[in-house]
Amino acid sequence: MSLRKSEVQVPSPVYKDKSLGIVEPKILRGFRDLLPTDMIALEKIISVIKDVCESYGFIPTSTPAIEYKNILLAYGEETSKEVYFFEEPDGNMVGLRYDLTVPLSRVIAQYKNLPKPFKRYQVSTVWRYDKPNPGRFREFIQFDIDAVGTSSISADSEIILAIYDCLERLGPSFIIRLNNRKILNSLIVFAGIEPNMARSVFRVIDKLEKQGIEVVKQELGPGRVDISGDKIKGLGLNEVQIKKIEEFLSLPKNTCSEAIDSLKELFKSVKGAEEGIDEIKEIHDHLDCLSIPDGKIIIDFSIARGLDYYTGPVFEVVLTDAKEYGSVVGGGRFDELIGYFTGENTPATGASVGIDRLLEALKKLKLVKTKPSTADVIITIMVKDKLGEYQKIAKKIRDAGIKTELYVGEKTSIKEQLKYADKQDIPVAVIVGEDEFTRNEASIKDLRVIKKQKIEIGEREAYLKERIGQKKVPMGNLVEEIKLMLKK
């Protein structure tokens, strides 16, 4: 028998038994909440990078946060200690993506009809069980740009140039440090080192910038004792091998041309060294045509980041006034990675921007404005029975492209409404009371003036009463008057 509407039984809401105690609000180590002040700034950074990428013809992609375990470990088991794995109810072993290159490789292998070159960008969250430190989290946002399906060095140059343009727009002082995996491979031959030791040698060389040449020499040779007293085992290279590596790392590089010429002379007896040197020179020549200032892009033979990953040109970006954040961008050519999914090498080059790290650095440098609201205008409510009219006013301003918030709080005095606007850092308030409705007028108030004079005088109430920064305007001129006030 069906129940009539009046007889329908609605279940009672289920509440947590408070006797069990209040749940402590906390988040995992290495994770963080992004509140509006940070999130608004972060979105602006992403918007700048998106605009630059699209101006170069890169197109957006998106991939799942979760991939099968065998996909995530396609490049080897070494990454497994950093991946968040778990088992699905149906028994599949899956994990959270730890970068955006593995999903890109799968996409290229899975969708064979994609145009080549395939120039794409993706901004997404990734997860890595890593040691947290300033600007480094276990959940973070990467912005990747890649060009797949072309071996042309012009693609590498374009990636570097796009990154250069992004950072120029964002405003920090920076250096792009450029190297080539092939050059470091030639170093192994030049120094007479066994090829199976190459990765370990590169890992030590990569410490040059932070720890200096003496530490590097010790770790290449017998080892050292660090400041904590722990013994760091050396690689056991002989004096001749270490001297040759030091000679390589000490090459003069005041200019790109000088670095290239010095390297050619040093490696003149190393078979095959010309290829890596020529690639570096070609990138330098491409960028030199654009009159990029000296010192913005340098050749640095100590750059050895991810060299079990890259196959050709490799680069990283360091902010010169915020070096404690490390590299905020890294990239290079990875012609072999996609082959783990296809069985054959596929030329590809790209870069990854660490958005979270970049945000923290730009905040420290005061180059990004942290603002608690997206609104430029707030509509105050003075007459409760005219909410529809206030909605019309707000819509009119929004339709003109001005971000506008209608006050919906429970504290309705003008003092409380303006206090809210001040806390949200909203620059302009629109005030329309009974008299203004009758005269078809509005009052607009520049809250920035009040804030400035409050700092100087410290007496806000008096300035509210004296209508500081406030003017009456005809309703028909409201939008234009607001635009003029925002321009001040």
pLDDT per position in the chain (488 positions), as tens? 444 444 555 555 555 666 678 889 999 999 999 999 999 999 999 999 999 999 999 999 999 999 999 999 988 777 778 999 999 999 999 999 999 999 999 999 999 999 999 999 999 999 999 888 776 799 999 999 999 999 999 999 999 999 999 999 999 999 999 999 999 999 999 999 999 999 899 989 988 888 899 999 999 999 998 888 788 899 999 999 999 999 999 998 778 888 999 999 999 999 989 999 999 999 999 998 888 887 899 999 888 866 678 999 999 999 999 999 989 999 999 999 999 999 999 999 999 999 999 999 999 999 998 999 999 999 999 999 999 999 999 999 999 999 999 999 999 999 999 999 999 999 999 999 999 999 999 999 999 987 777 544 445 555 455 567 899 999 999 999 999 999 98
pLDDT digits (tens, 9 = 90+) for 183-224: 999 999 999 999 999 989 998 998 888 889 999 999 999 999
Nearest one of 139, 111, 1, 36 to 369, comparing CA atoms: 36
Question: Are 450 and 463 in contact, with CB atoms under 8 Å apart?
Answer: yes
DSSP run (H or E) holding 168: helix 153-170
- Residue 479: how many CA atoms within 13 Å on its side-chain side? 13
- Asked whether 437 and 387 are in contact (CB, 8 A), the reply is no
Residues in the chain: 488
**Residue reference for tokens 């509509």:** 379
Q: Which of 320, 319, 261, 256 is nearest to 288 (CA)?
A: 256
- List the structure tokens of 20: 């069990």
CB atoms within 10 A of CB 294: 9
Q: Report d(CA 127, CA 104) in Å as an integer.
A: 16
Amino acid present at 387? L
Taking the alpha carbons of 289, 256, 237, 229 in that order, is the dihedral positive or negative?
negative
Q: Which domains does the chain have, with CATH numbers?
A: 36-364 (3.30.930.10), 377-487 (3.40.50.800)
Report the predicted TM-score, pTM, of the whole model to 2 decimal places.
Answer: 0.88
CA distance 107 to 62: 10
